[in-house]
Structure 1
Amino acid sequence: MRTAYSVETVRTAERALMARLPDGTLMQRAAAGLAAACADLLGRVYGSRVVLLVGSGDNGGDALYAGARLARRGAGVAAVLLAGERTHPGGLAALRRAGGTVARPETAEELIDRADLVIDGIVGIGGKGGLRPAAAPLAERAARSAAAVVAVDLPSGVEADSGEVLGAAVRADLTVTFGTHKPGLLIDPARAYAGTVRLVDIGLGPELPAEPDLEALQHADVAALLPVPAAESDKYRRGVVGVAAGSARYPGAAVLAVSGALRGGAGAVRYVGPAGAAVIARFPETLVSDQGPHRAGRVQAWVVGPGAGDDAGTVAEVLEADVPVLLDADGLRLADVGAVRSRTAPTLMTPHAGEAAALLGVAREEVEAARLASVRELAARYRATVLLKGSTTLVAGPDGGPVRVNPTGTPWLATAGSGDVLSGLAGSLLAAGLSARDAGSVAAYLHGLAGRHAAQGAPIGAHDVADHIPGAWRDVRDAVGG
């Protein structure tokens, strides 16, 4: 599992570690890791041209010390100093001793144009509000150049704790981060500025608290959560998921939600709604009822809302059930806030950015710019677990614990009905016994992998995603020998 910690937590851990180490040890560890990553990216260090964009503070020092290491290996290294007298003195002296130079300000853009590598050491993880006017043109020049851009710890100009981008920022091909990931490296829009992320171990792990701010599941974590039937299992012991979805206008939403549910680990799927004929025609194994949720038979979880139109009565009826409920699409619009907040069984809400914006009473752009804050606010406001869909899917619980970030998605999943498949999949995992947080996280992970497998660089439909869920499931288990 990858974890990320806030700036305050990282700085506290760094102070504790530095108190036990000789002065400068931590910076030398960081610089060594940065230089190694840059050398790997260059391939051939000797004769390469490297430009350092150096601000004040430790990030600038890391860049200078790394530049000195590259210069000793034969690179031509020039530093552009953006902080004047506040430049890290030890790093600057090390660069000069190694044969590096300090560029005249008027030559900076020309040097960037000719560089093989640009190292961004402008602003550290505490930077706020985007790049300052003196730095912004250099970041833009680097982005337009043929040089590879490497960010030190975090691309300068992005917000480390929130993933927001509030002004001009460096766009990196590679970000070399130290000790632990920072939230902004995992969450869009900042994630898109980071490029590939390489984590360098500087010994910070023992100083970090057990509970991170963010966590991203990996194959082994997901494999450990997947429901697996035992020898004595039957369809009822594996769990039954109810799907209340679709309408005369949107029968396809019901079919797609059921398609996800059938592949999510529960033993049976009960469908309730007006699209029963369409569901049976496509999936004859579904248990179909037209008597409403209360008379459909026992279930261990409900999915309600996809394609529901204006059927507020069914949404209200499902929310009264004393089992986990997944609330999606029209269900989010039709649900009473008080009814959701007062539920004692788990609730999992799965909005996209537009739906989240409507629930919060803000513009969609505000949600997309501040995804982490938005998902946390929704979870607290509704006392529910919230899965915020998008370029980075986030899962936040009402208890304020770590937010889960899903790393597996693909832009090809932005297709009609894909969210209905996700809802059915997550609802089935709820019925199989996973918590709302785990069901949402595992479903997003498998859904993203299935989308990748289905697309392989080409357009796909939602039914393609559903068809590839078993393959994604097998990939996860096979990767850990399951």
Structure 2
Amino acid sequence: MRSAHTVEQVRAAERALAAQLPEGTLMQRAAAGLATSVIDLLGGAYGRRVLLLVGSGDNGGDALYAGGMLARRGARVEVVAVADSLHEAGLAALLAAGGHRVELAGIARPDVVLDGIVGIGGRPGLRDRAREAVDRVAGVPMVAVDVPSGVDVDTGQLEGAYVTADLTVTFGTHKVCHLVEPAASACGVVELVDIGLDLPEAGVTALQQDDVAALLPRPEPETHKYRRGVVGIRAGSERYPGAGVLSTSGATCGLVGMVRYAGGAPDAVLATHPEVVVGEGRVQAWVVGSGGGDDVAGILAAALRDDVPLVIDADALQHLDAPLDRPALLTPHAGELAAMLDVERAEVEADRLACARRAVSEYAATVLLKGHHTLVADPDGRVGVTTTGTPWLAVAGAGDVLGGLCGALMAAGLSPYDAGTAGSWLHGAAATYVSSGGPVSAPAVAGALPSVVADLLR
């Protein structure tokens, strides 16, 4: 599992460890990891031109010490100060190793730039001097030291100017901004350097392959279809039959024993999935809302009459009475969540984490906020981030497949949070599986789910 800690948690862990070590040890560990990552990026150090943009804090010290290590390996290293003072010991180490302090106007175009302007204690946005320096080297590969300067580390928000990195080398643990959009896109590839921190449990995490495999339901040798779980689908209508087909496609991936369909497009569903049982009956979870047409409020009411967990999507989200009285997974995109919270869509997109948490509080339900990095926020305070997938997954019908898949996982016994995190991970992995770098379709994503699950279980 990839854990992302807050600034306060990281600072406390750093203080505790530093008290047990010789002075400067943590910075040396960070600098060594940073220098190694830069060498890997460049394919070597000798003869390369490295520019450091450095501020006054410890983040700048990390960059300066790393610059000294690169200079000793044969790189030409130059540093431009974007603050009135620099980390004195770090600067001395760089100059002793053959590095140079230069003015911005005098730099030659480097092979790589290290962003050591501000670290995790910095406020969002860049000051004019730093912004000018960053603009001057536009187009050169950028390595952010710990976090891209200018981002909000604990929220993932972007306010004002900020660094867009090709690579971020972070220390001790991931930070929230590495996982949560929109800041996550400014981080580029994120590499983690272990510096020995002892950290508490993180509130924001991202499942990895082994974590998802551990959550997947596995049938016992003597099981039967009802014991494995029955998921009910109330999606699709005469006007929108495809939503019913795609929701059942996500649900019929093999993770439950049976799929029951009680929506408005039975003929279309049976034409694609003859194994689906049409009609009312007992289920362990309902999926409701997608393509429900004009009677979506009635469809939601019918699902609520059963005392089972729910996956609620699309138009049904606008007919919810908050708070909900049962386990539920709400699956809005940014526009739908904005309507649920009575705010503008831009507000959700700017602060996805805060808006997801607010919806959890108001609706007393788990909220899966779809996006490039999907968020799953739970009433117990946990937030899961899904980093699988491809931009090609932004295609009509993909959300219907996701809803059916999450409903199947809930019917198999997973909590709304585990179903949301595992389901969105599988959904993204299936899209990557079929994409091969190109377009995907919602039916193809659904069709790849059994193969992705099988690969995980091997």
Give the shorter-chain TM-score range: over 0.9
Alignment correspondent of 1:406: 386
**Cα distance per residue 1:368-424 (max 9 Å; x no partner):** 111111111111110000110001101010121x21000102111111110000000
Alignment correspondent of 2:345: 364
Alignment correspondent of 1:293: none
Identity %: 59
**What letter corresponds to residue 59 of structure 1 in structure 2?**
N
TM norm structure 1: 0.93
Instruction: Give, in whole Å, the separation in 2 of the partners of 1:366 and 1:143.
Output: 29
Alignment correspondent of 1:435: 415
Over 4 Å off, 4+ runs = none
| Equivalent residue runs for 1:188-203 within 5 Å | 188-203=181-196
Contact 2:238 2:265 in 1 (8 A): yes
Instruction: Give, in whole Å, the separation in 1 of the partners of 2:2 and 2:14.
Output: 19
**What letter corresponds to residue 95 of structure 1 in structure 2?**
L
Contact 1:264 1:426 in 2 (8 A): no
Q: Decide which of 176, 179, 184 is 2:172's aligned counterpart.
A: 179
Instruction: Give, in whole Å, the separation in 2 of the partners of 1:137 and 1:302.
Output: 55
Contact 1:140 1:170 in 2 (8 A): no
**What letter corresponds to residue 419 of structure 2 in structure 1?**
A
**What letter corresponds to residue 448 of structure 1 in structure 2?**
G
Contact 1:316 1:335 in 2 (8 A): no
Instruction: Give the deviation of 1:25 after TM superposition.
Output: 0.7
| Equivalent residue runs for 1:420-459 within 5 Å | 420-459=400-439
**Cα distance per residue 1:43-82 (max 9 Å; x no partner):** 1211111100000110000000000111111111110011
Instruction: Give, in whole Å, the separation in 2 of the partners of 1:31 and 1:264.
Output: 48
Q: Decide which of 113, 130, 143 is 1:135's aligned counterpart.
A: 130
Q: Decide which of 152, 156, 162 is 2:149's aligned counterpart.
A: 156
Aligned residues: 457
Instruction: Give, in whole Å, the separation in 1 of the partners of 2:434 and 2:38.
Output: 35
What SS class does the counterpart of residue 237 from structure 1 fall into? helix
Alignment correspondent of 2:9: 9
| Equivalent residue runs for 1:39-58 within 5 Å | 39-58=39-58
| Equivalent residue runs for 1:118-129 within 5 Å | 118-129=113-124
Instruction: Give, in whole Å, the separation in 1 of the partners of 2:264 and 2:186.
Output: 46
What SS class does the counterpart of residue 174 from structure 2 fall into? coil
Instruction: Give, in whole Å, the separation in 2 of the partners of 1:405 and 1:331.
Output: 24
**Cα distance per residue 1:111-166 (max 9 Å; x no partner):** 3xx1011110001112222111111122233332xx32111000111111111111
**What letter corresponds to residue 317 of structure 1 in structure 2?**
A
Alignment of 1:381 with 2:374, yes or no, is: no
Alignment correspondent of 2:307: 322
| Equivalent residue runs for 1:199-278 within 5 Å | 199-204=192-197, 206=198, 208-209=199-200, 211-263=201-253, 265-278=255-268
Alignment correspondent of 2:282: 298
**What letter corresponds to residue 467 of structure 1 in structure 2?**
G
Instruction: Give, in whole Å, the separation in 2 of the partners of 1:262 and 1:9.
Output: 42
Instruction: Give, in whole Å, the separation in 2 of the partners of 1:195 and 1:325.
Output: 36
**What letter corresponds to residue 358 of structure 1 in structure 2?**
A
Alignment correspondent of 1:464: 444
What SS class does the counterpart of residue 137 from structure 1 fall into? helix
Q: Decide which of 426, 432, 453 is 1:473's aligned counterpart.
A: 453
Instruction: Give, in whole Å, the separation in 1 of the partners of 2:254 and 2:5.
Output: 32
Instruction: Give, in whole Å, the separation in 2 of the partners of 1:451 and 1:191.
Output: 20
Instruction: Give, in whole Å, the separation in 1 of the partners of 2:217 and 2:133.
Output: 51
Instruction: Give the deviation of 1:264 after TM superposition.
Output: 5.1
What SS class does the counterpart of residue 332 from structure 1 fall into? helix
Query: Structure 1 unaligned runs (5+)?
Result: 290-295
**Cα distance per residue 1:320-347 (max 9 Å; x no partner):** 321110000111122222xxx241x311
**Cα distance per residue 1:288-344 (max 9 Å; x no partner):** 01xxxxxx111000000010123211202212321110000111122222xxx241x
Alignment correspondent of 2:95: 96
Instruction: Give, in whole Å, the separation in 1 of the partners of 2:422 and 2:169.
Output: 28
Instruction: Give, in whole Å, the separation in 1 of the partners of 2:208 and 2:457.
Output: 11
**What letter corresponds to residue 444 of structure 2 in structure 1?**
D
Instruction: Give the deviation of 1:446 after TM superposition.
Output: 0.6
What SS class does the counterpart of residue 264 from structure 2 fall into? coil
**What letter corresponds to residue 407 of structure 1 in structure 2?**
T
What SS class does the counterpart of residue 28 from structure 1 fall into? helix
Alignment correspondent of 2:61: 61
Instruction: Give, in whole Å, the separation in 1 of the partners of 2:163 and 2:137.
Output: 8
**Cα distance per residue 1:7-41 (max 9 Å; x no partner):** 01100111111111111111111111111111111
| Equivalent residue runs for 1:81-120 within 5 Å | 81-84=81-84, 86-107=85-106, 110-111=107-108, 114-120=109-115
Alignment of 1:352 with 2:333, yes or no, is: yes
Instruction: Give the deviation of 1:459 after TM superposition.
Output: 1.8
**What letter corresponds to residue 406 of structure 2 in structure 1?**
A
Contact 2:430 2:448 in 1 (8 A): yes
TM norm structure 2: 0.98
Contact 1:264 1:425 in 2 (8 A): no
Instruction: Give, in whole Å, the separation in 2 of the partners of 1:40 and 1:342.
Output: 51
**Cα distance per residue 1:438-480 (max 9 Å; x no partner):** 00111101100111112212222211111111111122223xx
**What letter corresponds to residue 218 of structure 1 in structure 2?**
Q
Contact 1:143 1:170 in 2 (8 A): no
Contact 2:169 2:192 in 1 (8 A): yes
Instruction: Give the deviation of 1:173 after TM superposition.
Output: 1.2
Alignment of 1:72 with 2:69, yes or no, is: no
Contact 2:113 2:141 in 1 (8 A): yes
Alignment correspondent of 1:284: 274
Contact 2:104 2:133 in 1 (8 A): no
What SS class does the counterpart of residue 310 from structure 1 fall into? helix
Instruction: Give, in whole Å, the separation in 2 of the partners of 1:396 and 1:436.
Output: 10
Instruction: Give, in whole Å, the separation in 1 of the partners of 2:176 and 2:47.
Output: 36
